[in-house]
């Protein structure tokens, strides 16, 4: 089974294979993957019309061209040892499937290639006459297939490959037909883009009317056109795409982010740092290359993958920046192993200082503000706020907590569970009832995803509203945020930078008897559910920001950015 093109240890492969809880035969897994790819293709093709091309820049800051170049560049022969199972305790079967299949790298390559020609086709149709390029892409496809055929494959594998190729060709033909028709759509979309940009610049409240009449771009809120990354069903299938150049820890992480099993900026950052540690540990320098530099480029690929699964959190970005800085500063005279252990140690230290100790310091500060008979209002789930309240409870303070929760994530329920387990007296309600309780509340504690340089707070959708109501009732609002989440970006509204999550979550109702009237919203062109992840709270709603350095007014955030070591 060992391929000459990759340097995978046979023993490790076997280990990986046995480690898989659901052993599937190679053929079956391949068939599965091929079908999924075909399905992905289908949806991709259908959504061509709705995809706004032109100056489209993905969330990781790269255009499609650059991303492809990156991928192509990353197709070196990197040694990946798949034996180590992940330390992160998430229960997903798919990543383990990935692990199993990844060891058969030839198929891996096939998967890669069958996806790129499609993408190139789609990209090309907006820039140049479509027909020529489909032929081009066909050629590339053929070329790559020939490449693969050089490797020794079993008959069954060859058959499967051919099947995949045929599927791809069929789709390409269908693509051609579709490509001819929406030429006029190009113009409309280009106008749309211009108008959108203008609107965003001038801040006008004009919605692009043109699109509504000529060709309704399906199921997109025009104001957020710049944030859509493609259909969500297609996104979900990304879980199954595999890339042999990315460490399985990152693949798993990506899948977890995508399925939103890890939520919260601290949790995501910790998960990423943990995967980073694994990567550093497992990384073997390729011949004639330097440890740090090659690690950095591998890391880049992994991060890009994470970004495509879900845009990076500010905490993650900041942590990565520190890590990269570290890589450049590390003493080149040390041996690889020494470097590795140094990096591990530094990562641990970062976690300790920026997350753990900072949390402790913040908790101490806020505990001074919590007095007996306080009624504290919190929103959603925040690990830091949880810690603060549990610490206050342990210190013997008598207070009550009101938890405000909102759809569709309903994170507050998890918070409620944990607080009740800590024996804190709690009340629970949905965000629409905030005005009802606010008159009796004494303080409001909020967590943050990031603090922006102009003093605005970026946090889960709904935070701004809770702060607004608290402000109108003149209740003090405290935002608790570690300094590593401060970022230099400036934002005044929730439109320019945000994250659009799965619209189906808005439509599905978890109450038993009711089912939503909107379950088949896709059938109606005029209906769009919108699921925003974040919103921006203006600084005048916030009384104080508590960080581990000091308790600040919201306007002093740039001071902290100045004080912290410059990146």
Partner 1 sequence: MLNETDIKSYFLNILNEENDVSAGVAAIRTLMKIIKYHDSGTIQGLLEDLKLGMEIMKNTNYPSAAITSGCGLFRRFITLAIKDTYTFAECQNVMLDRGNLFLNKLNASRNKIKKLACQFIVDGSRILTHSRSRVVLHALKEAAEQNRYFEVFVTKSAPDDSGERMYNDLRELKIPCTLIMDAAIGYIMESVDFVMVGAEAVVESGGIVNKIGSYTMALSAKAMNKPFYVLTESVKFSRLFPLNQSDLPDEYKYLPTARSGDLSKEDPLVDYTPPSYITLLFTDLGILTPSAVSDELIKLYL
Partner 2 sequence: MLEMELFSDVIKLISDIRHSKLHNSYDIAIHTEELVERLISEGKWKSAQDLMSLIKLRIARFISALPQEATPVNIMRHILKIIRDEYDTGFKSKGEGHQSLHHLVTANINDSEDYSKLLPTLKSSLLNNLAEYKVELESSMDNIATQALEHIHANEIILTVGKSNTVEKFLKYAAKSRKFQVIVVEAAPRFHGHLMASNLAKSNIQTTIIPDSAVFAMMSRVNKVIIGTHTVLANGGLRTECGVHMVALAAKRYSIPIMVLAHMYKLSPMHLCSSEQDAFNICASPADVLPYSSGPLLNKVHVYNPAFDYVPPELVTLFISHQGGNAPSYVYRLLSELYHPDDQEL
For CA atoms 536, 542, 548, 551, the dihedral sign is positive
Interface map 216-245 toward partner 2 (x if CB under 8 A): x----x-x----------------------
Of residues 441 and 487, the one with the C-beta less far from partner 1: 441
Q: Which of 119, 176, 296, 473 is in the footprint of partner 1 by CB under 8 A?
A: 473
Stretch that binds partner 2, among 86-94, 226-234, 368-376, 413-421 (CB under 8 A): 413-421
Rounded (10°) angle between helices 93-102 and 105-127 = 100
- Residue 472 engages partner 1 in binding (rule: CB under 8 A): yes
Q: Which of 108, 254, 447, 529 is in the footprint of partner 2 by CB under 8 A?
A: 529
Report the nearest approach of partner 2 to the CB of residue 413 (Å).
7
* Partner in contact with 474, chosen from partner 1, partner 2, none, beta carbon below 5 to 8 Å by kind: partner 1
Secondary structure of residue 345 in the 3-state scheme: helix
CA–chain centroid gap for 556, Å, is 29
Q: Which of 62, 83, 351, 426 is in the footprint of partner 2 by CB under 8 A?
A: 426
- Residue 428 engages partner 1 in binding (rule: CB under 8 A): no
Measured between alpha carbons, how far is residue 430 from residues 133, 418, 507 in Å?
A: 53, 18, 17
Pairing between β-strand 457-460 and β-strand 450-451 as defined by DSSP bridges = antiparallel
Of residues 141 and 533, the one with the C-beta less far from partner 2: 533
* Alpha carbons 464 and 400: distance in angstroms, whole number: 22
Measured between alpha carbons, how far is residue 356 from residues 227, 295, 459, 509 in Å?
A: 33, 27, 20, 37
Stretch that binds partner 2, among 203-211, 285-293, 449-457, 481-489 (CB under 8 A): 203-211
- Residue 461 engages partner 2 in binding (rule: CB under 8 A): yes
- Residue 507 engages partner 2 in binding (rule: CB under 8 A): yes
Of residues 350 and 521, the one with the C-beta less far from partner 2: 521
Stretch that binds partner 2, among 145-153, 290-298, 441-449, 487-495 (CB under 8 A): 487-495
Measured between alpha carbons, how far is residue 275 from residues 59, 108, 344, 463, 565 in Å?
A: 21, 22, 11, 30, 25
Stretch that binds partner 1, among 202-210, 354-362, 468-476, 549-557 (CB under 8 A): 468-476
* Partner in contact with 528, chosen from partner 2, partner 1, none, beta carbon below 5 to 8 Å by kind: partner 2
Secondary structure of residue 256 in the 3-state scheme: helix
CB atoms within 10 A of CB 363: 21
CA dihedral 137, 141, 144, 145 (to 10 degrees): -170
Secondary structure of residue 185 in the 3-state scheme: helix
Report the nearest approach of partner 2 to the CB of residue 512 (Å).
7
* Alpha carbons 314 and 273: distance in angstroms, whole number: 14
- Residue 214 engages partner 2 in binding (rule: CB under 8 A): no
Report the nearest approach of partner 1 to the CB of residue 187 (Å).
53
With contact defined as beta carbons under 8 Å apart, do 300 and 129 qualify?
no
- Residue 474 engages partner 1 in binding (rule: CB under 8 A): yes
- Residue 431 engages partner 2 in binding (rule: CB under 8 A): yes
- Residue 194 engages partner 2 in binding (rule: CB under 8 A): no
Report the nearest approach of partner 2 to the CB of residue 366 (Å).
23
Report the nearest approach of partner 2 to the CB of residue 470 (Å).
10
* Alpha carbons 512 and 529: distance in angstroms, whole number: 21
Stretch that binds partner 1, among 193-201, 252-260, 286-294, 466-474 (CB under 8 A): 466-474
- What DSSP letter does each residue of 14-68 carry, written as one string? HHHHHH-SS---HHHHHHHHHHHHHHHHHHHHHTTTT---SS---TTS--HHHHH
Of residues 177 and 474, the one with the C-beta less far from partner 1: 474
Q: What's the length of the chain? A: 567
Number of residues that bind partner 1 (CB under 8 A): 3
* Partner in contact with 232, chosen from partner 1, partner 2, none, beta carbon below 5 to 8 Å by kind: none
* Partner in contact with 286, chosen from partner 1, partner 2, none, beta carbon below 5 to 8 Å by kind: none
Instruction: Tell me if the bond preceding 133 is cis, omega within 30° of 0.
Output: no
- What DSSP letter does each residue of 281-303 carry, written as one string? HH--PPTTS-HHHHHHHHHHHHH
Of residues 283 and 541, the one with the C-beta less far from partner 1: 541
Beta-bridge mates of residue 534: 460
Closest CA to 29 of 98, 109, 116: 98
* Partner in contact with 436, chosen from partner 1, partner 2, none, beta carbon below 5 to 8 Å by kind: partner 2
* Partner in contact with 221, chosen from partner 1, partner 2, none, beta carbon below 5 to 8 Å by kind: partner 2
With contact defined as beta carbons under 8 Å apart, do 403 and 426 qualify?
yes
- Residue 428 engages partner 2 in binding (rule: CB under 8 A): yes
Of residues 289 and 516, the one with the C-beta less far from partner 2: 516
With contact defined as beta carbons under 8 Å apart, do 282 and 80 qualify?
yes
Pairing between β-strand 374-379 and β-strand 399-405 as defined by DSSP bridges = parallel
With contact defined as beta carbons under 8 Å apart, do 442 and 375 qualify?
yes
Q: Which residues bind partner 2 (CB under 8 A)?
A: 205-207, 209, 212-213, 216, 221, 223, 406-408, 413, 416-417, 420, 425-437, 439, 460-462, 464-465, 468-469, 472, 493-495, 498, 506-507, 509-512, 514, 516-518, 521, 524, 526-532, 535-536
Q: Which residues bind partner 1 (CB under 8 A)?
A: 472-474
């Amino acid at each position: 089974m060992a391929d000459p093109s990759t340097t995978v240890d046979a023993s490790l492969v076997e280990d990986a294979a046995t480690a898989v809880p659901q052993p599937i035969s190679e053929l079956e897994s391949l068939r599965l993957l091929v079908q999924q790819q075909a399905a992905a293709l289908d949806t991709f093709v259908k959504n061509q019309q709705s995809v706004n091309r032109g100056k489209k820049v993905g969330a990781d800051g790269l255009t499609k061209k650059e991303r492809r170049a990156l991928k192509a560049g990353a197709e070196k022969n990197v040694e990946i040892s798949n034996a180590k199972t992940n330390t992160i305790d998430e229960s997903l079967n798919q990543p383990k499937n990935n692990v199993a299949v990844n060891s058969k790298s030839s198929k891996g390559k096939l998967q890669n290639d069958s996806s790129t020609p499609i993408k190139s086709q789609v990209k090309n149709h907006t820039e140049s006459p479509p027909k020529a390029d489909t032929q081009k892409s066909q050629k590339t496809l053929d070329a790559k297939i020939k490449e693969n055929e050089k490797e020794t494959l079993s008959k069954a594998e060859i058959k499967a490959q051919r099947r995949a190729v045929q599927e791809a060709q069929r789709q390409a033909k269908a693509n051609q037909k579709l490509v001819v028709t929406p030429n006029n759509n190009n113009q409309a979309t280009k106008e749309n883009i211009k108008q959108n940009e203008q609107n965003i610049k001038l801040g006008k409240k004009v919605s692009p009317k043109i699109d509504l009449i000529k060709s309704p771009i399906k199921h997109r809120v025009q104001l957020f056109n710049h944030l859509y990354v493609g259909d969500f069903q297609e996104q979900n299938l990304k879980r199954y795409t595999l890339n042999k150049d990315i460490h399985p820890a990152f693949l798993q992480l990506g899948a977890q982010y995508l399925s939103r099993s890890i939520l919260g900026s601290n949790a995501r950052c910790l998960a990423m740092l943990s995967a980073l540690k694994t990567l550093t540990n497992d990384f073997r320098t390729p011949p004639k290359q330097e440890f740090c530099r090659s690690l950095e480029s591998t890391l880049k690929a992994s991060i890009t993958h994470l970004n495509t699964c879900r845009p990076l959190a500010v905490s993650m970005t900041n942590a990565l920046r520190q890590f990269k800085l570290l890589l450049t500063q590390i003493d080149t005279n040390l041996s690889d192993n020494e470097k590795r252990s140094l990096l591990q140690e530094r990562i641990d230290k970062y976690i300790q200082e920026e997350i753990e100790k900072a949390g402790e310091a913040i908790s101490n500060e806020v505990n001074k503000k919590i007095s007996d008979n306080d009624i504290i209002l919190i929103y959603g789930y925040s690990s830091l706020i949880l810690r603060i309240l549990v610490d206050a409870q342990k210190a013997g303070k008598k207070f009550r907590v009101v938890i405000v929760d909102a759809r569709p994530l309903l994170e507050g329920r998890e918070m409620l569970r944990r607080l009740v387990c800590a024996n804190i007296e709690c009340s629970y309600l949905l965000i629409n009832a905030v005005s009802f309780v606010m008159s009796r509340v004494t303080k409001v504690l909020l967590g943050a995803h990031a603090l922006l340089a102009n003093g605005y707070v970026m946090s889960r959708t709904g935070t701004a509203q809770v702060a607004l109501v608290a402000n109108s009732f003149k209740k003090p609002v405290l935002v608790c945020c570690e300094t590593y989440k401060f970022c230099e970006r400036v934002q005044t509204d929730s439109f320019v930078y945000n994250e659009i999550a799965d619209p189906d979550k808005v439509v599905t109702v978890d109450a038993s008897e009711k089912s939503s009237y909107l379950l088949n919203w896709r059938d109606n062109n005029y209906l769009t559910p919108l699921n925003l992840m974040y919103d921006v709270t203006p600084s005048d709603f916030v009384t104080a920001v508590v960080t581990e350095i000091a308790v600040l007014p919201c306007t002093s955030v740039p001071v902290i950015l100045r004080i912290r070591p410059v990146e």
